[in-house]
Amino acid sequence: MSDVKEQVRRYIDDNFIMGSGSEQFSDADSLLDLHIVDSTGILELILFLEECFGIQVQDAEMVPENLDSLEAIAAYVGRKRHAQLAA
């Protein structure tokens, strides 16, 4: 799961923080509360998750509980991958 966190952190750093390294955030920090991503950024992040991890994010799954922190994203991607393997 840490691989997911690392890939998502790198994507956020490259695309939202622009590699400045000035915005530090922990795995548990809210990306929305820290204004690292906004509603448009969440959509871009979802496209990245779908392309990078081969998952489909359903409309009902676009909630902060799944996408608001690196920990939440990693857990969500893990659940989606597990469900794909079980299907």
pLDDT in tens, 51-87: 999 999 999 999 999 999 999 999 999 999 999 888 7
- Out of 10-19, 26-35, 36-45, which region has the weakest mean confidence (pLDDT)? 10-19
CA distance 82 to 63: 19
CB atoms < 10 A from the CB of 67, how many? 20
What percentage of the chain has pLDDT greater than the value 70?
93
Helix (H) or strand (E) segment spanning residue 73: helix 70-86
Tokens standing for residue 17: 């923080």
What pLDDT score does 23 carry? Answer: 64
Q: Give the residue-averaged pLDDT of 4-32.
A: 87
